């Protein structure tokens, strides 16, 4: 059967079998009604471990950020405690709905290096005593329990807010709206996108600063951010229920309008990169059935940020294994810390049908590099259903530095 | 009605509904194996399309753009906790309102394909898209899409055991 015959057969079969599905004359009204109700669902936010990590970052930032007078994009990219990087950042014109009833939202600084887009978003509240927290602070969660783990001895955000005279807490939910609506969100490295910033701080004049990044994409001309601000209620009706809801979806309802910002992007400047060190795999605990060959780990630096680049190859059978191809469910952690929003995937197919992947991630490279690098690779069992969101297994891995 | 629901966008949305409503809903129905979820997916697709309309820059055809949104909506619905806990492996034949037809066998075989293969077959043979267009939608290379279609056809032929002409 040729393609044309297949096409005709598939059309005929589906159209006959689903002949009962016909035009719904009320569809337009149903959609308009849905819009009027401002219902929105399906916005998954990052997984709990990432949220927990982000919450800790938030607490740490809250504890010391106010003492850093020059804190900004350069400091952040330099690792906060180092001298600012010698890069030129721009202050792009922020288009769209910058005005919110609670204040102004706009981009303060931005820079790109061909791998990542780094920017700081500032929120200038109308009332200096407005405390805006990023999404790890679940809007439905009790403020008294935010950030609390059994061995945590610091202040909760609520205690800090009380001590500093902030009467109300608000949560900020941020999305990369282009990715969300383009259909890429499920599998894209931008999935987590801008759900939460890497760091945030409050400056002395009450201005909130959110530091963010996302992978650079060729041909992308602008970033469209959507943001939603909601008051954090102290006592939700049902904490467990709210928590569950917040882990799976975020809804804009009639009381919370979604705002859109647009930030034009300049073409990425070719800043070049410097290879800092290369490592070869020394040992790993990866099971054989993954048919995954670790190749190298390269550390390089652009004028904006340090990066690690892990190269590995999947065998032809695994690379083209039905549902699994194109979905390298693999992550590397433990290498100089990493930026959770900044995973860049590159891939190339070899002549034998295997596929070489590069997983590139921003990091702060230390002054003194170790001879042996230790990390942990998380990946899914290839025998599992790829559509099952089972938690991946972790495997230790070591690389040995290669001297030229 | 929402003030932002402009007349121009409303006309565009109506036009799209007229053209794409039925094939989109049928595709979602096969994907989600549930008539009512398919209706939800269809509404959500048009809703997202309407919201994103000001940002639609015409870089692809409107049909491809809608397909991309529909694919994402279905994927998201499939991946939510409820869908993953409900056995939908056998309910195709008992779909409410689904009428048996002489061509059921191929339809049922398509329903039983893996998600990726089903996606490729539906977009290629039912939505008449080419490999490049599908690749852009599913975030894979054209050669990957081609391999998925080939594997899907082999699986369909295996399931149908000669029924397929």
Question: How far is residue A374's CA from residue A396's CA, in Å, rounded to a whole number?
Answer: 7
Q: Per-residue pLDDT averaged across A352-381, rounded? A: 84
Which residue of A2, A3, A11, A21 to mutate against B (max B Cβ within 10 Å)? A21
Question: How far is residue A307's CA from residue A337's CA, in Å, rounded to a whole number?
Answer: 11
Enumerate residues 6+ apart whose C-beta is below 8 A from A211.
A73, A76, A118, A119, A120, A197, A198, A199, A200
Residue B15 has pLDDT above 90, yes or no: no
A184 contacts B140? CB cut-off 8 A? no
pLDDT at residue A278, as a whole number: 96
Pairing of strands A130-134, A168-176: parallel
Enumerate residues 6+ apart whose C-beta is below 8 A from A156.
A143, A144, A145, A146, A147, A148
pLDDT at residue A376, as a whole number: 82
pLDDT at residue A151, as a whole number: 45
SS (H, E, C) A55-69: HHHHHHHHHHHHHCC
Residue A32: which of B5, B51, B18, B12 has the closest Cα? B5
Q: CB-based burial of residue B113 (10 Å sphere; 0-12 exposed, 13-18 middle, 19+ buried)?
A: buried
B107 contacts A18? CB cut-off 8 A? yes
pLDDT at residue A156, as a whole number: 66
pLDDT at residue B134, as a whole number: 87
Q: Which residue in chain B is spatially nearest to A16 when comparing CA positions?
A: B101
Provide the shortest C-alpha distance from residue A190 to chain B (in Å): 12
**pLDDT tens track for A32-63:** 776 665 443 333 333 333 444 444 444 444 43
pLDDT at residue B143, as a whole number: 82
Enumerate residues 6+ apart whose C-beta is below 8 A from A244.
none
Provide the shortest C-alpha distance from residue A322 to chain B (in Å): 7
Nearest-by-Cβ selection for A7 from B2, B50, B125? B125
Residues of A in contact with B139 (CB under 8 A): 184, 187-188, 326
Residue A171: which of A97, A244, A234, A106 has the closest Cα? A234
B68 contacts A183? CB cut-off 8 A? yes
Enumerate residues 6+ apart whose C-beta is below 8 A from A110.
A73, A89, A90, A91, A92, A117, A118, A119, A120, A263
ipTM of this model?
Answer: 0.82
Residues of B in contact with A184 (CB under 8 A): 72, 139
CA A49, A55, A61: angle at the middle one, nearest 5?
140
Residue A126 CB coordination number (10 Å): 12
Residues of A in contact with B158 (CB under 8 A): none
In angstroms, what is the C-alpha Rg of chain B?
Answer: 17
What pTM was estimated for this model as a whole? Answer: 0.56
Residues of A in contact with B149 (CB under 8 A): none
B75 contacts A186? CB cut-off 8 A? yes
Percent of chain A surpassing pLDDT 70:
65
Residue-wise DSSP of B20-72: HHHHHHHHHHHHHT-HHHHHHHHHHHHHHHHHHGGG--SSS-HHHHHHHHHHH
Side-chain-side CA neighbours of A228 within 13 Å: the count stands at: 22
SS (H, E, C) B83-123: HHHCCCCCCCCCCCCCCCCCCHHHHHHHHCCCHHHHHHHHH
Does residue B5 sit at the A interface (CB-CB below 8 Å)? Answer: yes
Q: Which residue in chain B is spatially nearest to A386 when comparing CA positions?
A: B115
Q: Which residue in chain B is spatially nearest to A261 when comparing CA positions?
A: B55
Phi, psi angle pair for A378, to nearest 5°: -105, 130
Q: Of chain B residues 97-116, which have a CB less than 8 A from chain A?
A: 97-108, 110, 114-116
Q: CB-based burial of residue A121 (10 Å sphere; 0-12 exposed, 13-18 middle, 19+ buried)?
A: buried
Residue A183 has pLDDT above 50, yes or no: no
**pLDDT tens track for A214-248:** 888 777 788 888 787 877 765 444 444 443 333 33
Helix (H) or strand (E) holding A79: none
**pLDDT tens track for A135-159:** 543 334 444 455 444 444 566 677 7
Does residue B12 sit at the A interface (CB-CB below 8 Å)? Answer: no
Provide the shortest C-alpha distance from residue A161 to chain B (in Å): 35
CA A330, B72, B59: angle at the middle one, nearest 5?
105
**pLDDT tens track for B58-110:** 767 888 888 888 887 787 676 543 444 344 443 444 343 344 445 678 888 88
Question: How far is residue B156's CA from residue A18's CA, in Å, rounded to a whole number?
Answer: 19
pLDDT at residue A40, as a whole number: 38
Residue A89 CB coordination number (10 Å): 20
pLDDT at residue A102, as a whole number: 93
Residues of A in contact with B44 (CB under 8 A): 41-42
Which residue of A10, A183, A261 to mutate against B (max B Cβ within 10 Å)? A183
* Residues B102/B94, Cβ–Cβ less than 8 Å: no
Question: How far is residue B100's CA from residue B92's CA, in Å, rounded to a whole number?
Answer: 11
Provide the shortest C-alpha distance from residue B153 to chain A (in Å): 9
pLDDT at residue A5, as a whole number: 87
Question: How far is residue B40's CA from residue B77's CA, in Å, rounded to a whole number?
Answer: 10
Does residue B6 sit at the A interface (CB-CB below 8 Å)? Answer: no
pLDDT at residue A71, as a whole number: 65
A182 contacts B2? CB cut-off 8 A? no
Provide the shortest C-alpha distance from residue B90 to chain A (in Å): 16
Residues of A in contact with B108 (CB under 8 A): 17
Does residue B72 sit at the A interface (CB-CB below 8 Å)? Answer: yes
Question: How far is residue A308's CA from residue A7's CA, in Å, rounded to a whole number?
Answer: 46
**pLDDT tens track for A276-308:** 999 999 988 887 777 888 999 999 999 888 899
Provide the shortest C-alpha distance from residue B3 to chain A (in Å): 9
Residue A394 CB coordination number (10 Å): 14
What are the beta bridge partners of residue A230? A171
Residue-wise DSSP of A281-316: EEEE---GGG-EEEEEEEEEE-SS-EEEEEEEEE-H
Maximum distance among all Cα pairs of chain B, rounded to whole angstroms: 56
Which residue of B51, B70, B143 to mutate against A (max A Cβ within 10 Å)? B51
pLDDT at residue A196, as a whole number: 55
Side-chain-side CA neighbours of B156 within 13 Å: the count stands at: 26
Does residue B21 sit at the A interface (CB-CB below 8 Å)? Answer: yes
pLDDT at residue A338, as a whole number: 54
Does residue B151 sit at the A interface (CB-CB below 8 Å)? Answer: yes
3-state SS assignment for residue A254? coil
Question: How far is residue B23's CA from residue B44's CA, in Å, rounded to a whole number?
Answer: 15
B101 contacts A19? CB cut-off 8 A? yes
A14 contacts B110? CB cut-off 8 A? yes
* Residues A319/A292, Cβ–Cβ less than 8 Å: no
Residue-wise DSSP of A182-248: HT-TTTSTTSSTTSS-SEEEE-TTS-EEEEEEEE--TT--EEEEEEEEEEPPSS-S-HHHHHHHHHH
Residue B79 CB coordination number (10 Å): 16
User: How does residue A260 score in pLDDT terms, banded at 50, 70 and 90?
Assistant: confident
């Amino acid at each position: 059967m040729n393609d044309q015959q297949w096409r005709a057969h598939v059309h005929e079969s589906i159209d006959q079998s689903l002949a009962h599905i016909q035009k719904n004359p009320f569809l337009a009204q149903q959609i308009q009604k849905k819009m009027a109700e401002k219902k929105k669902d399906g916005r998954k936010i990052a997984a709990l471990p990432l949220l927990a990590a982000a919450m800790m970052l938030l607490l740490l930032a809250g504890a010391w950020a106010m003492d850093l007078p020059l804190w900004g994009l350069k400091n952040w990219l330099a690792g906060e405690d180092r001298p600012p990087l010698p890069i030129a950042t721009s202050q792009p014109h922020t288009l769209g709905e910058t005005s919110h009833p609670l204040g102004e939202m706009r981009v303060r600084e931005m820079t790109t290096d061909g791998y990542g887009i780094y920017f700081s978003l500032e929120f200038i509240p109308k009332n200096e005593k407005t405390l805006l927290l990023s999404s790890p602070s679940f809007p439905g969660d009790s403020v008294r329990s935010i950030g609390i783990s059994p061995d945590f001895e610091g202040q909760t955000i609520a205690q800090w807010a009380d001590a500093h005279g902030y009467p109300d807490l608000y949560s900020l939910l941020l999305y990369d709206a282009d990715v969300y609506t383009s259909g890429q969100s499920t599998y894209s490295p931008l999935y987590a996108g801008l759900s939460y910033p890497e760091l945030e701080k409050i400056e002395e004049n009450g201005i909130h600063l959110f530091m963010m990044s996302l992978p650079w994409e060729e041909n992308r001309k602008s970033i469209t951010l959507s943001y939603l601000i909601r008051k954090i209620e102290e006592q939700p009706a049902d904490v467990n229920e709210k928590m569950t809801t917040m882990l799976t979806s975020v809804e804009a309802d009639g009381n919370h309008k979604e705002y859109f910002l647009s930030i034009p992007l300049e073409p990425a400047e070719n800043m070049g990169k410097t290879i800092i060190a290369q490592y070869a795999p020394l040992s790993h605990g990866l099971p054989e059935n993954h048919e995954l060959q670790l190749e190298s780990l390269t550390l390089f630096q652009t004028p904006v940020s340090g990066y690690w680049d892990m190269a590995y190859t999947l065998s032809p059978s695994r690379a083209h294994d039905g549902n699994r191809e194109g979905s390298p469910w693999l992550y590397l952690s433990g290498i100089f810390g990493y930026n959770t929003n900044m995973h860049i995937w590159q891939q190339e197919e070899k002549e034998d049908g295997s596929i070489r992947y590069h997983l590139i991630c921003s990091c702060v490279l230390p002054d003194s590099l170790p001879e042996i690098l230790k990390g942990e690779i998380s990946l899914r069992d290839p025998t599992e259903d790829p559509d099952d969101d089972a938690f991946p297994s972790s495997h230790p891995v070591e690389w040995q530095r290669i001297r030229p | 009605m929402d003030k932002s629901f402009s007349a121009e966008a409303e006309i565009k949305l109506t036009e799209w509904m007229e053209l794409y409503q039925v094939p989109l809903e049928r595709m979602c129905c096969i994907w989600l194996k549930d008539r009512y979820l398919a209706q939800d997916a269809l509404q959500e697709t048009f809703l997202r399309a309407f919201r994103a309309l000001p940002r639609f820059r015409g870089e692809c055809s409107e049909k491809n753009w809608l397909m991309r949104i529909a694919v994402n909506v279905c994927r998201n619905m499939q991946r939510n906790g409820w869908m993953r806990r409900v056995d939908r492996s056998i309910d195709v034949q008992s779909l409410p309102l689904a009428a048996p037809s002489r061509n059921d066998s191929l339809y049922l075989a398509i329903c039983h394909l893996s998600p990726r293969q089903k996606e490729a077959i539906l977009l290629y043979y039912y939505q008449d898209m080419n490999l490049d267009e599908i690749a852009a939608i599913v975030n894979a290379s054209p050669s990957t899409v081609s391999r998925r279609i080939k594997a899907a056809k082999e699986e369909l032929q295996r399931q149908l055991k000669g029924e397929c002409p």
